[in-house]
Chains A and B, each alone.
Chain A
Amino acid sequence: MEHEIREQGDVLIAVLSGDIDLEQAPTARKVLLECVGQGKSVLVDLSGVGYIDSSGVASLVEAYQAARKTKSGFALVSVSVGAMRVLELARLNKVFTIHDTIEAGLEAS
């Protein structure tokens, strides 16, 4: 898994790409919790995620819950087809705020 953090005003954009599986989920968790810990709104770009499993999803849920505790924004953007399939299986597509594009996410933040 690769990751890149971009800052746009008061919003952090965490771009995750590659596979977020049992091996890589701890890195995803660390990256996302560090972003949320900065107290800014966080957009997680999943457009480049080829595969995500339940442990990767768990890292998203943990970051989402941490953001809720601090009343910070947290949303997913440009979710890849493969990642959306897994979110739908977990019925988390109804829980996460999901935007089609980064621009839409920034506008809503």
Chain B
Amino acid sequence: MPLQNDDAEVIFELTFPACPDRLKLVRTLVLEAARMSGLCDSSSRDLVIAVDEACQNVIRHAYCGDPEGKIILEFARTADSVVLKLRDFAPLADVEKIKPRDLDDIRPGGLGTHFIFELMDEATFTPPLEGDGNLLKMVKRIG
């Protein structure tokens, strides 16, 4: 089931379980796809950070560590950007609560959402076009 509904060219779609030990694989794939799509090396590495943090949020918060959870990551390219869509099938998240925290508060945790919003040109949480769960759309401009 394609997650894209625009003119984007899909580079890959990956379905994987919500397990921490799959994140290295996801990072490797995203890095190569980012380079292939024309992002410079630093932007490619920034993209990897954002995607890793988004996957982490799904694993830790949406599925609460349940490895039975399923995640779909779609990586696509348009003329001027890469567009990633991350889909889960967890209960609907309260998007009002998904906000970066105050960085002056020095404490462990809570940085992932800040990284995503800082590194991506766009990051929006929307209900999926079909079915249950959550959909995070992230856009990084090329160049």
Q: Which residues of A contact B (CB under 8 A)?
A: 19, 21-23, 51, 53-55, 57-59, 61-62, 65, 82, 85-86, 89-92, 95
Contact = CB atoms under 8 A, between A and B. Distances in A.
A22 B20 contact: yes
A53 B114 contact: no
B56 A90 contact: no
21 contacts: A21-B23, A21-B24, A23-B23, A23-B24, A53-B49, A53-B53, A54-B53, A54-B110, A54-B115, A57-B108, A57-B111, A58-B111, A59-B108, A61-B107, A61-B108, A62-B108, A65-B107, A89-B114, A89-B115, A90-B115, A92-B106
Contacts of B108: 57-59, 61-62, 65
Interface string B1-28: 0000000000000000000110110010
Looking at A22, A61, A62, A92, which has the most chain B CB atoms within 10 Å of its CB?
A: A22
A90 B103 contact: yes
B27 to A, nearest CB: 7
A89 to B, nearest CB: 6
Interface in B39-64: 45-46, 48-49, 52-53, 56, 59-60
Contacts of A65: 106-108
- Interface class of chain B by DSSP: helix
Interface residues of B, number: 26
A21 B52 contact: yes
